Structures are given as structure tokens and as C-alpha cells.
Amino acid sequence: MSNLLLFPIIIPLFFATVLMIFPKRLKLQRFLAATGAAATLIAALVLLAKVNAEGVQAVTLGSWPAPFGISMVSDPLSALLVVTTSIITLFVVFYSFPTIGVKREQSFYYPAVLFLMVGVNGAFTTGDIFNLFVFVEVLLMASYTLIVHGGEKPQLRESIKYLLVNIISSALFVAAVAFLYSVTGTLNMADLAVKIPQIEETGILTVIAVMFLVVFGFKAAIFPLYFWLPGSYYSPPVPILALFGALLTKVGVYAIMRTYTLFFTMNIAFTHELLGIIAILTILAGCVGALAYFDVKKIIIYNIIIAVGVILFGIAQLNQPGVDGSIFYLLHDMLIKAALFFLVGIVAVLFGTTDLRKMGGLIKTYPFLGWTYLVAAFGLAGIPPLSGFPGKLLIVQGGFEGPQFWGSIVILATSLIVLLSAVRIFIYAFWGEPVETVPLKKSVFNQMFIPTVILVAITVVFGVGAELFMPFISGAGEVLLNPSIYIDAVLKE
Amino acid sequence: MEIIMSVVIGFLFMAAVYLMLSKSLIRIIIGTGLLSHGAHLLLLTMGGLGGISPPVVADGVSVSDYADPLPQALILTAIVISFAVTSFFLVLAYRSYQELGTDNMDLLRGTEDHE
């Protein structure tokens, strides 16, 4: 029983609330937003150390015994994700200073970012499926604010669709929760993991499992349900895009990971094979988009969809290398997507456009930016020793050990497409005839570039030092593969 | 009773889908409202409609007589959330109508080439 795991949720909530009092005080807003994100990161790191040392942490709110109160659970996976979320939010706050514009900063931009953090951290930490719904709504509400923030015409147009898609998926979420409750009589995830194997009628549970896949699939942007993502993510400015691309879809991915390893395991032959097939289709659909566009933002946005497919394929295998690989790739993908959006944002600012065909020759004026981008692009494609490699290696290995070996072949083949799509940006934007760039003050450029370089450096360390992080990853994988650890930690309290 | 409720829920979902497939933004918003009503009613029904006593421990009441308090707590939360989202959606729709000059979803399609 430790309240520590609530801090990454409460700290940003506190700072966001305070920040809402004085929206116009620019310097104070910036300072407090950065402090809040940094404090959350520290709390998250302390939590990770504690989880690593003492095992899964659980607290049930109001001191009710576990299946009755709302449980908050921090296992290694959720602790790792909370740390990564906090890192990304901190860097997004720094990157926002020069890029987002004073007008937006003075209109509740930072509170919205911190509220988003509350929702994401909460969704990663909760141990109750209805509470997951509530935290998802918290983060969605913040994301509605952010996606329409500034009120430009394309933003308004796209946020309507984003809102509608999410309202429908939320209604389905409530319906799925209702069905699950009527069948099992509980909503606590650990309790569900105990009760579901005792139910002999697996048919109805399989239907519910697929309903949850649809619900989380909307958030995670899996194959037939990803249609809303490219349009909606395209409209907001780059810092918000980075935040969304790195965090929002990952909540859906995490929810699928959690539910499909912890309790929806009664009919693996059907549900997990379906998940594997959908994952592969997601990758293929993402690849088509990533190659089809000449727009830097669109290319990276479609790469989000590809990564979602890769992660879910590892989970669908439900064996040790597959799950470990998925966790590693999930963390890698959050960091690298944020870094790539930062880089693409700088490139777009320098050229004043996001169209690749109007770019060129940046390597002569900004060589360091070019090489940083190349490192990030290689990391995305998974070239050893960068951070995309160990995760992908394990996922592919998991696929070959499972029945869906053909999926691993697709992942290997599509890695080349990912590389091509990312390097295409390098070729068009950095090589070729120099195109006139928008003059940018050195200090502004540095303000944008320094957080980016640090983030890219973190991904490089994460890849090169993979051996160092593997104990954490395999610890998280162990809990996912042995639900009894999770159940004991929650119900024993 | 559960059967009647199921029919009502089905009708609400049907009406919601019909409204959400129309072009006018305001009809879509009403549709989302009906959709969440349907989902909330489903939540209440799925908890079981039996139970005649309030869920407070009292003498002479057997366990099967209690009403299930959990769906009511869940539904309350869900109603509050959908209320907030619907009001946000209405404001967004009004603002979009002012800025974009239309509430026809056909005209709000938006391609990569313009805007």
C-alpha cells in the first residue's frame, strides 16, 4: 500500500489547476508548466525505482478492499509508460516555447497539456476498467481542447470529425463495459482475471473481447478504424501533433495489451489470431499512406499507424520474445515519434511549407539538423544499434516462434518501406538544390533544436544501451505473461 | 422488463445511427446524445433490474433483494461525462458554423490541397 503511484496523476492535475488562474502571465505559465512536468517526471522515476525494487504496487482508493474500491496498480509496464509519458510531455513543453505562439500560450495551452498528462498517466495506472474509461475521457477532453486550440479553419473542420469518432467509441466503451459487468459481475481488472477463467460460456466473452478490441482500436488506430487519424492529426500545430502522435494512440495500444494479456485469454485461438491479422493489415495500410504523400507531417503520421501494427503483432503472439519486444518497441516508438515530429516541425518552419517537393538543400545551411534527422530516421526504421532494432528483433522472433510466422516476414519487409518513407524526407529536404529558407533567429532555432537533440540522444541511448534497459522490459513482460503476479498484488492488499 | 428495456435501447441506438448519418451537424449532435442515452440505459439494464431494497444493510432483507448500486454509480459518471462532451460539441459546432459558414458535413470534407 503506497500512495506514490498516484503522484504522477496528482502533480500535473495540481499544476494544471493552478495555471488556469492566471492565463495571461506568460513567463509564470511557462515556468510552472515546465516545473509541473519535471516534478511529474521525478515522481515517475521514483515510482519506477520502487516498482523495480519491490514488485507491483497497488492502492485501492478510500481503503475499500480490492474488488470493491477502485484499484490503481503500477506494474513495471505502467511505470515505464508513465516515465516515458512524463519525459515526452516535458520536452513538448520546452519545444512549445518558441513554436506554439504567444496567443495560444495565453489561452490555456499549458493547462490543457498537463490535463492530457493527467489522463494519460491515469489510464496507464488504473486497475479498473471503468476507471480506465474515465481517465480516457479526461485525456480525450484535454485532446479536444488541444486539437481545436487556436481555432483555425482546418482545425475546426477536423476537430468535429475527431470529436464524433471519439464520442461513438466512448459510447461503445460504455456498452462493452455494461456487457462485461453483466457477465462477470465485476470491473476490477485483477478480479476479472480471476473470474473470467471460471466462466464456462466463452462464446459471449469472446464477443465482449472483440467489442473491446473495436473500442480500443478506435483510439489506437488499428486497420479498419484508423481512417480518422491522418486528417485529425494533420490540422493542429507541431507540438500538439507530437504530443498526440507520441501519447494518444499508445493509450489504446496499452489498453489492448493489458486486456488481451490479463483476462481476455479464454479463446486465444480466435481473439489473438484476429489481433495478429489486424495488426498486419494495419502495418500494410500505414505503409501505403507513408509512401503515398509528399507531405512531411503526413508521412510521419502514417508511420504512427505502422508502429501500432508492429506493437500489436508482438502482443498477439503472447510469447515471451513477442511481448518483451512489444513493450520495448512501444517505449521506443513514443520517444522516436515525438523526436521525429519535432524535427519535421523545424524543417517545416525553415521552409515555410510541409510539401517535400518545395524543399531542398538544407544540409548545406543546417548540417547538424540533417544528421540528427538521419539518426532519428534510422532509429525509426530499426537499423542496429538504434532503438527500433531490439524491439523489432524480439517481435519478429516472437512471430517465428508462434503460428503467425508470415506476419514476421511482413514486418521485416515493411521495415524497408518505413526506412524509405523516412529517408525520402531526408533526400528531398536535405539534399538537392538549396531552396531559400525562412530567416530564423539563431536563438529561436536553438530553442527548438536543443530539446529535439536531447530527445534523439535519449532514443540513441535507449537503443545502444538496450542491454541496460532489458531487465525493466523483461520484468514488465513477465507480469503481462503471468497474470497471477498482477492479481496477487491487487487482491492481497 | 429487461426485454422492454432492450427494445428501447435498440431503438435509441437505431435513431442515433440514423441521425448521425445525416449531413446536418446539429442532427449529428442530437444523434450522439441519443447514442449515449442508449449506452447509459444499457449499463443500467445490464446490472439487472431486480432488487427492491436500497443497498443499505438492514435486518430482514436477504442479499437477493438489494438493488445493485454499482451500475447507478457508473451511469452517473457516464452521464456527467457525456453531458460535458455534448456541450463542448455544441459550442464547437456553433463556432465552426461562424468560421466556416456551413454546417453541412459534405462541405466540411476537406482535402489535403485546400486549407
> Shortest Cα distance from B53 to chain A (angstroms)?
19
Note whether A257 and A326 are within 8 A (CB): yes
**Sequence-ordered list of residues with C-beta below 8 angstroms from that of B83, at least 6 positions apart, any chain:** none
**Residues A334 and A406 sit within 8 Å (Cβ to Cβ):** no
Residues A285/A332, Cβ–Cβ less than 8 Å: no
Q: Which positions ≥6 away from A419 have C-beta within 8 Å?
A: A377, A378, A380, A381, A383
Q: Could you tell me the pLDDT band of residue B115, with boundaries at 50, 70 and 90?
A: very low
Select from A197, A180, A33, A94 the least CA-distant residue to A450.
A94
- Residues of chain B neighbouring A130 (CB-CB closer than 8 A): 74, 77
User: Hey, is A62 helix, strand or coil?
Assistant: helix
In angstroms, what separates the C-alpha of A328 from chain B's closest C-alpha?
34
Burial of B58 (0-12, 13-18, 19+ CB in 10 A): exposed
Length of chain A counted residue by residue: 493
Interface test with B, best of A166, A182, A211, A234 (most B CBs within 10 A): A182
Query: Per-residue pLDDT for B113 more than 60?
Result: no
pLDDT in tens, B4-59: 999 999 999 999 999 999 999 999 999 999 999 999 999 999 887 877 788 788 77
Among B74, B94, B95, B100, the residue to mutate for chain A (most A Cβ within 10 A): B74
Contact by Cβ (8 Å): A414, A421: no
Q: Which pLDDT score is estimated for A493? A: 60
Residues of B with CB under 8 A from a CB of A: 20, 25, 28, 32, 35-36, 38-40, 42-43, 45-48, 70-71, 74, 77-78, 81-82, 84-85, 88-89, 92-93, 95-96, 99-100, 105, 108, 110, 112, 115
Q: How far, in whole angstroms, is CA A3 from its chain's centroid?
A: 25
Alpha-carbon distance of A51 to A18, in angstroms, equals 30
Q: Identify the pLDDT of residue B111.
A: 62
Residues in B closer than 8 angstroms to A171, CB to CB, are 32, 35-36, 38-39, 82
Contacting residues of A for B112, CB less than 8 Å apart: 234, 293, 295, 298
Fill in the DSSP letter of residue A126.
B
CB A215 within 8 A of CB A176: yes
Distance between CA atoms of A246 and A249, rounded to whole angstroms?
A: 7
List residues bridging with A60 in a β-sheet: A71
Instruction: Return the closest-CA partner of residue A136 out of A146, A149, A125.
Output: A125
Sign of the Cα pseudo-torsion (A5, A11, A12, A13, in order): positive
Beta-bridge partner residues of A74: A57
What's the full length of chain B, in residues? 115
Instruction: Identify whether the C-beta of residue A30 lies closer than 8 Å to the C-beta of residue A105.
Output: yes
Bridge partners, residue A355, by sequence: A295
Cβ pair A134:B35 closer than 8 A: no
Q: Is A293 within 8 Å of B35 when comparing Cβ atoms?
A: no
> Would you call A148 and B92 a contact, using CB atoms and an 8 Å cutoff?
yes
Within the 196-235 window of chain A, which residues sit less than 8 Å (CB to CB) from chain B?
231, 234
DSSP character at residue A5: G
Q: Do the beta carbons of residue A190 and residue A486 sit within 8 Å?
A: yes
Residues on chain A touching B20 (C-beta within 8 angstroms): 164, 168
Question: What would the DSSP string read from start to end of A358-410?
Answer: G---HHHH-HHHHHHHHHHHHHHHT-TTSTHHHHHHHHHHHHHHSS-HHHHHH
Q: Within chain B, what is the greatest distance between any pair of CA atoms?
A: 72
Q: Which of B48, B74, B100 sits opposite A153 (nearest CB)?
A: B100
Task: Give B24's strand partners.
Answer: B104
pTM attached to this predicted model: 0.94
The answer for A 146-175 residues in CB contact with B (under 8 A) is 148, 151, 153-154, 156-161, 163-164, 167-168, 170-172, 174-175
Q: What's the first-to-final CA gap in chain A, in angstroms?
A: 7
How many contacts does A have with B, using Cβ atoms within 8 A? 104
pLDDT band at B114 (very low <50, low <70, confident <90, very high): very low
Distance from CA of B93 to the nearest CA of A (A): 7
**CB-CB under 8 Å, B74 with A130:** yes
Contact A181 B100 (CB under 8 A): no
Instruction: Name every chain A residue with its beta carbon within 8 A of the beta carbon of B25.
Output: 160
Is residue A470 exposed (0-12), middle (13-18) or buried (19+ Cβ within 10 Å)?
middle
| Most distant CA pair in chain A, distance | 69
Peptide bond into A385 cis (omega under 30): yes
Residues A57 and A50: beta-carbon distance below 8 Å: yes
Contacts of A140 in chain B (CB under 8 A): 85
Give the ipTM of the model, two decimals please: 0.93
Interface of A with B in 279-298 (CB under 8 A): 293, 295, 298
Nearest one of A409, A95, A368 to A237, comparing CA atoms: A95
For residue A363, the distance in angstroms to the closest alpha carbon of chain B comes to: 28
Per-residue pLDDT of chain A (493 residues; tens, 9 = 90+): 578 999 999 999 999 999 999 999 999 999 999 999 999 999 999 999 999 999 899 998 888 887 888 999 999 999 999 999 999 999 999 999 999 989 999 999 999 999 999 999 999 999 999 999 999 999 999 999 999 998 888 899 999 999 999 999 999 999 999 999 999 989 999 999 999 999 988 899 999 999 999 999 999 999 889 999 998 999 999 999 999 999 999 999 999 999 999 999 988 899 999 999 999 999 999 999 999 999 999 999 999 999 999 999 999 999 999 999 999 999 999 999 999 999 999 999 999 998 999 998 899 889 999 999 999 999 999 898 899 999 999 999 999 998 889 999 999 999 999 999 999 999 999 988 888 888 888 999 999 999 999 999 999 999 999 999 999 999 999 999 999 999 999 987 6
Query: Measured between alpha carbons, how far is A78 from A86 in angstroms, rounded to an integer?
Result: 12
Nearest to A139 by CA among A22, A13, A256: A13
- Closest residue to A174, CB basis, from B20, B39, B85: B39
Contacts of A154 (CB under 8 A, 6+ apart): A234, A235, B110, B115
Say how many CA atoms lie within 13 Å of A488 toward its Cβ: 7
Q: What is the mean pLDDT of residues B59-79?
A: 86
Q: Which of A104, A52, A90 is nearest to A236 (CA)?
A: A104
Task: Please name which of A169, A265, A276, A291 lies closest in space to residue A226, comparing C-alpha atoms.
Answer: A169
Q: Name the residue type at position B48.
A: G
- Residue A290 to residues A304, A411, A414, Cα–Cα distance (Å): 10, 15, 11
Q: Are A424 and A356 a contacting pair, CB within 8 Å?
A: yes
Looking at the DSSP bridge assignments, the partners of residue A188 are A128
Question: Which one, of A406, A167, A367, lies nearest residue A279 by Cα?
Answer: A406
Task: Check CB contact under 8 Å for B45 and A177.
Answer: no
